[in-house]
A and B are shown apart, each in its own frame.
Chain A
Amino acid sequence: MIGMVIQVLTLSGLILSAGLVWYFRDLLSAAISFGVFSFLLSMEVLFLQAPDVAIAEASIGAGLTTAVFIIAIRATQKVTEADGE
């Protein structure tokens, strides 16, 4: 029962954070919520009894990919609404 509740909460958090990645206009916020998405995904994979995948997802998805995104955001210039589109 308690495992079911935890799984439902994790899956809802996954959908919510994936929606937030799409929703945020600020790239840094989107990158951070992508890190949250990766962390929740690794938790879900751990609940499904695949600790190998969980370790890989936690370190690569939540650690390295977020760092790559943040470095790339720092390297590029911000385009405001008036310039773009």
Chain B
Amino acid sequence: MNMSSLVRTGAGILMPFLLVFGFYIVLHGHLTPGGGFQGGAVIATAFVLLMVAYSYEIIWERISLEFLKNTETLGLMLFILTALIALVAGLAFFGNWLLGAGGLFGTPVSYGINPGDLNTGGVIPILNIAVGLDVLGAMSVIILTMLFAVRRDA
């Protein structure tokens, strides 16, 4: 079941903007409103837009279920590993072991009201990316599995 060419063209035009917006929300989760969950949901919405616009066969050929499953598992593993490394570093579970270290995401924050720096936040941006991958994979897998379960002629 192919939608009309108007819908397909609109989906194609909207797709990159949705992806950029979603990844922006994920990456700037510690500075601006949003976070991993919201950004992942926006990216999943972009995929769902594609699934709604194009026909069953094209989706079956282009989008791999295995890839999305692996994305979700990767996100979950990254989340738990980041939380576990805090134990090795001598902090509590989910402790912020990158905070103020000076390396990746470790620039000390200037307190008070400030425009914000992307390279702050310690472990929070990593957890954001992990949850973003997790939510993106999970939502897409749910919709894609439901779509595959529907017969094409139904």
A residues with CB within 8 A of B: 51-52, 55-56, 59-60, 63-64, 67-68, 70-72, 74-75
Contact = CB atoms under 8 A, between A and B. Distances in A.
B147 A71 contact: yes
B34 A72 contact: no
A59 B41 contact: yes
Given A51-B33, A51-B34, A63-B48, A75 B146 contact: yes
Contact of B35 (A52, A60, A75): A52
A60 B146 CA distance: 16
Interface string B32-64: 011101100110110011011000000000000
Most B C-beta atoms less than 10 A away, residue of A56, A59, A70, A74: A59
Contacts of A52: 33-35, 38
A60 B41 contact: yes
* Interface residues of chain B: helix, strand, loop or mixed (majority): helix
Contacts of A59: 38, 41-42, 44-45
B142 interface: yes
B41 A72 contact: no
B150 A64 contact: no
Nearest to B34: A55
Given A55-B25, A74-B154, A68 B34 contact: no
B149 A67 contact: no
Contacts of A71: 143, 146-147, 150
A59 B21 CA distance: 12
A63 B38 contact: no
Interface string B3-37: 00000000000000000000001000000011101
A72 B147 CA distance: 9
B127 interface: no
